[in-house]
Chain A
Amino acid sequence: MKTLVWVEHDGTAVKDATLSAVTAASKLGEVHLLVAGQGVDAVAAEAAKIAGVGKVHVADDAAFAHALAENVAPLVAELMGHHDAFVAPSTTNGKNIAPRVAALLDVMQISDILSVESEDTFTRPIYAGNAIATVQSSDAKKVITVRGTAFDKAATEGGSGEIAAVASTGDAGLSTFAGAEIAKNERPELTSAKIIVSGGRALGSGDKFHELIDPLADKLGAGVGASRAAVDAGYAPNDYQVGQTGKIVAPEVYVAVGISGAIQHLAGMKDSKTIIAINKDEDAPIFQVADIGLVGDLFKIVPELTEKL
């Protein structure tokens, strides 16, 4: 099978999510990449070095600058004339673009796969990760999104992909990018962080969230996450949210502070290697998944922990 992988990038560098998608795609056969954007020579050069990569298709056009699905999907559909599968990471771009491609190709997408069982059979989580379904596709062409935390990252060196320019399919004229507000964050990106410290509603306020969670995260070199309750209450920005509707993470260590452990939150972090829970309610559901639990007042425990590290 010849597989086309969507390269997730920020205009200057390949994002880690791409590397997991490459690993998943390599289980299907030959891996080609698609770098779409404007002024993306550096991204293409970096992509070509990813281990195991064949051709790198580069579509450089203003129409692709913001990865608008209306413009990108026809480009992918065109390239799918000579590829058997389209694989995208489960990033917001991947989730936005892939189903539109699937509809253009008249195939059913397989979302958020956890494993490749064979060329047409995959496993994926359903019901907020409370069940794992094994599904077999009867479609001739496959459109797949990949859960990053379920696949190892492909090596960023050692490959020698051949870079080939692709003719632009142009601007569909349906949508325009009007602006973005990207949160500044100097800490490790949540979906690739090795350690995550996450805060919940029990922190009580945005000030307390930053006063307690941030220093602990910095001591551990960790990314900072939050439960939906903490985000809804305005203690942390939306993109901190870990869960079924937020980000899915699987770090080495996940420290849940003042998080009760609702189903929807667990869906986003229960594949973490070690889960540490700090909560004053010893019956909180988070303790059922935690490897290490500490029952007590987080306002005392967290500062003490930060101090002693």
Chain B
Amino acid sequence: MKVLVPVKRVLDYNVKPRVKADGTGIDLANVKMSMNPFDEIAVEEAIRLKEKGVTEIVVVSIGEPKSQETLRTALAMGADRAILVTSETKVEPLGVAKILAKIVEEEKPDLVILGKQAIDDDNNQTGQMLAGLLGWGQGTFASKVEIADGSVNVTREVDGGAETDTLKLPAIITTDLRLNEPRYASLPNIMKAKSKPLAQKTPADFGVDVTPRLTTLKVVEPAKRTAGIKIADVDALVDKLKSMGVAK
């Protein structure tokens, strides 16, 4: 059984994003970039499945050449080989899903595990789009994955609780935070990852048109909240709540 895991290079989740003064986007010059946290969970899940009988894990990243570092991280965690699809321009989820669909045709994985959303664009689309393009079942927001014979049981975090769906294989899974705790790559594994295979491609190799459908007209900072006040004690808070009408 083969698993494909797409990963994305994003601004590190601990870094506070700064909006560029000209309103064209977020300033990404000289800031720490990392693997999208949900994708780390996806890689981890694939590795855990490998410990239970998956034979190969292929990781894919689509984006700037530096995404190679993100792929090396995934290889160091335990993935077997990597595919880097380099694009100078930003590729939207629809374009990413179309490229991934082509890679799926070539690689024929039984399972594709993606993060539920990337923490930069917060779109939460790519996995669902890929499932739609392939005509496969989708187990989104997964908190538990169990492979059965020819199918996979996915417990999903939904509004109000959890839901379990059974999907026919091959299928798409997108990870939620509580699926697992990703491992750290050890130094020997980081060294080993350098010699693992990494194929370089471009969107044109797959015949996919990645022209954006959405144009970002501007990016601004959200409205700032006005400075609040500190109060001295509970009595003052009770008075405040009463004056707001939320307490009698």
Contacts and interface: CB of A to CB of B under 8 A. Distances in A.
Nearest to B122: A126
Interface string B129-145: 11111011111110100
Given A96-B140, A100-B129, A292-B237, A107 B219 contact: no
B60 to A, nearest CB: 18
Contact of B132 (A100, A292, A294): A100
Contact of B165 (A68, A101, A270, A289): A68
B246 A294 contact: no
Interface stretch (B50-58, B90-98, B191-199): B90-98
24 contacts: A68-B165, A95-B140, A99-B128, A100-B132, A102-B94, A104-B132, A111-B123, A111-B125, A126-B122, A127-B11, A130-B19, A132-B219, A132-B221, A138-B213, A178-B153, A179-B164, A180-B164, A183-B161, A228-B177, A238-B157, A270-B222, A274-B244, A291-B226, A293-B229
A110 B225 contact: no
B92 A108 contact: yes
A182 B164 contact: no
A99 B132 contact: yes
Interface residues of B, number: 81
Contacts of B97: 103
B222 A134 contact: no
Given A131-B220, A138-B215, A239 B231 contact: no
Contacts of A275: 225, 228
A89 B79 CA distance: 36
Contacts of A183: 160-161
Interface residues of A, number: 90
Contacts of B162: 180-181, 238
Contact of B138 (A96, A98, A112, A294): A96
Contacts of A291: 225-226, 228-229
